[in-house]
Amino acid sequence: MVLEFRSVTKEFTGRSGDFLTAVKDVSLGVKEGEFVSVVGPSGCGKSTLLSMTAGLYQPTRGEVLVSDRPVTGPNAHVGFMLQKDLLLPWRNIVENVEFGLEARGVAKAERRDRATAEMRRCHLEGFENHYPYQLSGGMRQRAALARTLAIDPEIILLDEPFSALDAQTKLILQNSFAGTIAESAKTTLLITHDLSEAVLMSDRIVVLSERPGSIVAEIAIDLPHRDQPLKRRVMPEVNDYAAQIFRHLRLEEKAA
């Protein structure tokens, strides 16, 4: 397994000294090259799982491992993408893509070569000297993915990267991301509230309960074209999988 959670519980201490349990007794393994989505109610600890993978938080109990190594601090082996692209406005796009490599001390010529290659993979040729304000939201997110891939992480963490986009751009970008990630063969963990998105992009979906989040279901997506969500989108089985997740989340009971 590239990523493992072993009986992980994470508690936070409030201002009054009381404990809030974000996730409880989560055990999960993610294989090399696998694309796994995590869905669940708001506040159930989905983003906490990503933060522990990145080493930003430590488990209260249990253990998180990346490639059999315990995560004990900020983890240079993962690339983390958030809802916002976080591009630096004073740097052009190729300089933004180089940023992580620069922080790691990679020589200028090598980081330019790697950044240029990832921009090509993310269909951003010709925009190297543009600045973030000159790009659309979708192109900015592709630049953020190129920056993530440039550092050659073992795991890509995606925290709702499409949630701020309009519906058409979202579909196009899902397809672009899926193809790029499949080509790079990166292990990926996606957090999303969009059940269809999870089905369209994933090999497997993990469903969390309400807080404290614990795993209530793991659903293998037995559909072709994981690298082309637009092809999956027209398959009738997509709705069946989404309905299955819906039932595990008990949304009908909550609506009643």
Percent of the chain at pLDDT exceeding 90:
88
pLDDT tens digit sequence for 6-47: 999 999 987 777 889 999 999 999 999 999 999 999 999 999
Contact 97, 143 (CB under 8 A): yes
Q: What is the DSSP letter of 134?
A: G
Query: Is this structure's pTM higher than 0.85?
Result: yes
**Whether residue 184 has pLDDT greater than 70:** yes
Taking only the tens place, the pLDDT of each residue in 119-133 is 999 999 999 999 999
Check pLDDT > 50 for residue 252: no
Residue 200 · residue 239 · CB < 8 Å = no
Q: Mean pLDDT over residues 150-175, rounded?
A: 92
pLDDT at 86 over 80: yes
The pLDDT value given to residue 17:
74
pLDDT in tens, 186-243: 999 999 999 999 999 999 999 999 999 999 999 999 999 999 999 999 999 999 999 9
Q: What is the pLDDT of residue 254?
A: 54
- Structural domains in the chain, CATH included, are 87-190 (3.40.50.300), 192-202+214-226+242-256 (no CATH)
The overall average pLDDT reported for the chain is 93
Residue 212 CA to residue 22 CA, distance in Å, equals: 5
Predicted local distance difference test score (pLDDT) of residue 83: 84
Tokens standing for 148?
């993530």
The pLDDT value given to residue 250: 76
pLDDT at res. 68: 93
Residue given tokens 């983890």 in the structure block: 75
Which pLDDT value is given to residue 222?
A: 96
| Residue 141 pLDDT > 80 | yes
pLDDT band for 57, please (50, 70, 90 cuts): very high
3-state helix, strand, coil in the chain (%, to 5): 40, 25, 40
DSSP per position, 175-190: HHHHHHHHHHT-EEEE
Specify the higher pLDDT residue, 102 or 16. 102
Q: Is 185 exposed, middle or buried (0-12, 13-18, 19+ CB in 10 A)?
A: exposed
Look-up of token digits 């069946």: 240
Residue 84 pLDDT exceeds 90: no
Rg, C-alpha atoms of the chain: 18
Per-residue pLDDT at 251: 55
Q: What is the DSSP string of 40-74?
A: -STTSSHHHHHHHHTTSS--SEEEEEETTEE--S-
